[in-house]
Amino acid sequence: MYQYSEFDKQFVRQRAAQFRDQLERNLAGKLGDEEFRPLRLQNGWYVQRHAPMLRVAVPYGEMSSKQIRQLARIAREFDRGYAHFTTRQNVQYNWIPLSQAADVMDLLAEVNMHGIQTSGNCIRNITADAMVGVAEDEIIDARPYCEVLRQWSTLHPEFAFLPRKFKIAVSGAKEDRAATAWHDIGLHLVKNDAGEVGFRVLVGGGMGRTPITGTEINAFVPWQQILVYIEAIVRVYNRYGRRDNMYKARIKILVKAEGQKFFDQVNAEFQNIIERDADGAAHLIPQAEFDRVNASFAFPAAVQAHTASGNGLPADASDADQAQFAKWLERNVAGHKVQGYKNVQLSVKRVGQAPGDATDAQMDAIADIADQFSCGELRVTHDQNVLLPFVREEDLFAVWQAAKAASFASPNIGLLSDMIACPGGDFCALANARSIPIANDLIARYQDLDELYDIGDIDLHISGCINSCGHHHSGHIGILGVDKDGSEWYQVTLGGSDGSNHAPASVAGKVIGPSFAADEVTDVIEAVIDTYRAQRAANEKFIDTVQRVGLDPFKTAANAVRRTTAKAA
């Protein structure tokens, strides 16, 4: 993973010291709350429903065991013993007193972490496929390009106060596991006919009140020019984006309104930067700088291609262990670009604990497993799980045992109980309804592994409000919390997709009727699932059945289980 230089370390330490000064002046009444607000936001500090929330940046999801141990310490000493993995590969805390915020930032800086630009109207944390650099289907390792983008966009003077927040995702694999079409800019690393590396660029994606998937603006931008091209996009957005209405301020609205005119403006701006700006060519990425960054992403010395001698399953393993281990191999283990290695996902989904939540003890356990079996490296996934990127095939049974002891071995990756959810109304000041009780009810309802395996691959996403932090629009089943006269209600959508192999065309789900009461949601989802099982063809996935038969059978089944809403009608 990327090794911070002395400049990088000093930069993070100085930012932490600057924040401490700002916080102390605010607490002393020398810096007003309104003046302090944008300063704390660009360091990742929100004021939420009950307490401040800190969002910690995890660039392109990559983290060391040392870093997650520090996160565990912060959860233990400053929060209530928890942290939360988000859908954009960050880590959040919900109960840290603002008076202790500077101490936390110093602890983060000790391990080269921070909250810079995880909030505010700026270019946010760069995200990627969790298996970036190690995926079996990878065309080009996106990590060095992500790191160059991170360094370029951090504190970029022109883009610190955009019309709204701005998100970039990068993928270098055949399968898009980074949901790139749902970002303000989506970047796909590709090779042209001459074998040269470049980017296919999508622009104007986003969720929220107006879900729109990105549109291709350029099929091939040479990698050396990608910073200039992104700068051109963001300049045009910064110049023409709506600032009079926060609900219409995202770039997706500008792209939709202007269409080809927006594309023409971007391409003209790109040419102007290259040909007319003073030192415009200096914005091209030099080969030497790319090589410097890329060198940090060499595989650990211990990772050597080899022919595996097995997966470690003992000859005398019990029938139960053999059966459970086989299911875990099927769902939680994926191929690797280095012979003899696998990618292993630890499931952070269990009864009684919010999706993506991990205790301090669980984070310490993750660090121990990563140290013992994954060269001290791990990844936060888009689905709010943890990935171990360097597991030897011979160690798989031992990893499974360690994961089982730490409650991370549920063989449910990609299944219904592997849902994603935002913190919702239990924590978020913006939420209209709670997400966590709905998620917990559904996880508890679907604990039978045989039933889950029969249902098969399915993405269920839950958001507590229209801001869509739980990505409900892209769920095969999406659940959105809405407020009606002070009560919690929930819309259900079907047929969404994030663009992964489950359903390669990214699309927003469609609402299947009026909202449901909280006590109806679990029964509604069960009715939808039962309808799928009755309607499906042989070996047909849920999303394919929805696309084939349409929404009407599912609407009928969902409406049939109404209780509270039927009385209200």
On the question of a common fold for 6-110 and 420-561, the answer reads no
Q: Which residues pair with 123 in a beta bridge?
A: 166
Chain Cα centroid distance, residue 255: 24
CA 62 to each of CA 91, 212, 549: distance values in angstroms, whole numbers, following the listed order: 12, 28, 40
Alpha helices in 241-286 (DSSP H): 251-258, 260-275
Q: Strand pairing of 168-171 and 127-128?
A: parallel
Domain positions in the chain: 6-110, 127-295, 319-406, 420-561
Task: Report the CATH architecture of 319-406.
Answer: Alpha-Beta Complex (3.90)
CB 47 within 8 A of CB 429: yes
Low-confidence residues in the chain, pLDDT < 50: none
What DSSP assignment string belongs to 68-109? HHHHHHHHHHTSSSEEEE-TTS-EEES---GGGHHHHHHHHH
- Residue 498's alpha-carbon distances to 176, 209, 322, 375, 512, in angstroms, are 8, 17, 34, 31, 19
pLDDT tens, position by position, 513-527: 999 999 999 999 999
Q: What is the pLDDT of residue 567?
A: 63
Q: Check: CB of residue 543 under 8 Å from CB of residue 502.
A: yes
Please report the pLDDT score of residue 568 as a whole number.
56
Q: What is the DSSP letter of 406?
A: T
| CA distances from residue 547 to 126, 551, 556 in whole angstroms, order as listed | 32, 8, 16
Pick the CATH number of 127-295 from 3.90.550.10, 3.30.413.10, 3.30.70.380, 3.40.50.1000: 3.30.413.10
Task: Compute the half-sphere exposure of residue 103: CA atoms within 13 Å on the CB side of its CA.
Answer: 11
CATH 3.30.420.10 assigned to domain 420-561? The reply is: no
What does the angle CA 441 – CA 447 – CA 451 come to, to the nearest 5 degrees? 120
Nearest to 26 by CA among 15, 13, 37: 37
Q: What is the pLDDT of residues 455-504, one digit of tens each?
A: 999 999 999 999 999 999 999 999 999 998 888 999 999 999 999 998 88
Q: Which of 3.90.1150.10, 3.30.390.30, 3.40.50.300, 3.90.480.20 would CATH assign to domain 6-110?
A: 3.90.480.20
Order of all β-strands in the sheet with 91-93 = 45-47, 52-56, 91-93, 82-85, 357-359
